Amino acid sequence: MDNELALIELVKKGDKKAYNALVLKYQDRLVYSVYKFLKDFELAQDIAQEAFIKAYKNIEKFRGDSQFYTWIYRIAINTAKNVVSTKARKSEIYDNDTTDQLLSESATTSENPENILQAEQLRSEINKALQNLPEDIRVTLSLREFDGLSYEEIAKVLECPIGTVRSRIHKGREMLDQTFSKYDMSNFEVRKL
């Protein structure tokens, strides 16, 4: 199981550098989750940002019973719901079902398919690169990334030393990073912030 309690403990002691590392770790995932909910990329970024700020201010309430991501995801989705409700109230069309209506409307109308395609291109390149990795490295990395196994669990499954797991995962990431770096980011006409 992914365990970032050490990072959280540093944050609880007031270490903002540790929080920055956490933001860098989860920002893509959080923005993506909120975006799936709202289908508005800029709003998703604003809400993710607000969620990170709220989470920091309330970090002492995080007890480690769940993953940090689960916790901050809940904060972000609640923030998103509030934003949508406020919008509904402001437009004076609020009734019991308005929030759901707005969510489902935004989910079907406001995304530009071109941007989805561009981000998908990179995702597809990375997945191709993953398939081309040597089998032992690919299997080890997949057990980590897709099955969420710890190094110890992977070592048990593959019956190999934990050091081997560690180095295979690192090597796999290095090889994927070559693809990632080679891939010309300027090809993307990504939405600018």
Partner 1 sequence: MNETLEQRLSMLLDGETTPFETKRLVDEIHCNPHIKALWLRMNKQRAALKGELIDPTLDISASVMSHLNSTPQISHLNSKPWQFSHFFPTHYLKACCYLLGFFLVLSSPLLNLKNFSPSDSFSKLSNPSKTFNRNIPLPGNEALLVDLGSNFNGNLKNYRMVSENAIEANYQLPDNEAVKIKVFFNDVPQSERLNLLESGITLHTKSGNEPIVLNVSSDQISNSKLIKISNTFFTK
CA atoms within 13 A on the CB side of 30: 29
Binding to partner 1 (CB under 8 A) within 44-73 occurs at 44-45, 48-49, 52-53, 56-57, 59-61, 63-64
Cα 35 from chain centroid? 11
Q: Can you tell me whether residue 23 is helix, strand or coil?
A: helix
- Least Å distance between CB 136 and partner 1? 16
Sole binder of partner 1 in the list 7, 139, 158, 160 (CB under 8 A)? 7
Q: How far is the CB of 151 from partner 1 (least distance, A)?
A: 5
C-alpha–C-alpha distance, residues 52 and 21, integer Å? 12
Burial class (CB within 10 angstroms; exposed 0-12, middle 13-18, buried 19+) of 84: buried
Alpha-carbon distance of 81 to 182, in angstroms, equals: 39
In contact, 65 and 36? CB cutoff 8 Å: no
> Where does this chain touch partner 1 (CB under 8 A) — which range of 32-40, 75-83, 92-100, 102-110?
32-40
| Sites for partner 1 among residues 147-166 (CB under 8 A) | 150-151, 166
- Residue 15, both tokens: 């270490």
Q: Establish if 146 lies at the interface with partner 1 (CB under 8 A).
A: yes
Binding segment for partner 1 among 70-78, 81-89, 94-102, 171-179 (CB under 8 A)? 171-179
State which residue, 58 or 101, has the beta carbon closest to partner 1. 58
Distance CA 91, CA 80 (A): 17
To partner 1, the closest distance from the beta carbon of 105 in angstroms equals 20
- With binding defined as CB under 8 A, does residue 42 bind partner 1? no
Instruction: Quote the least distance from Cβ 185 to partner 1, whole Å.
Output: 6
Residues 151 and 162 sit within 8 Å (Cβ to Cβ): yes
CB of 101 to partner 1, least distance (A): 24
**Residue bearing tokens 């309690």:** 5
**Between residue 104 and residue 143, which ones bind partner 1 under the rule CB under 8 A?**
115, 119, 122-123, 126-127, 130
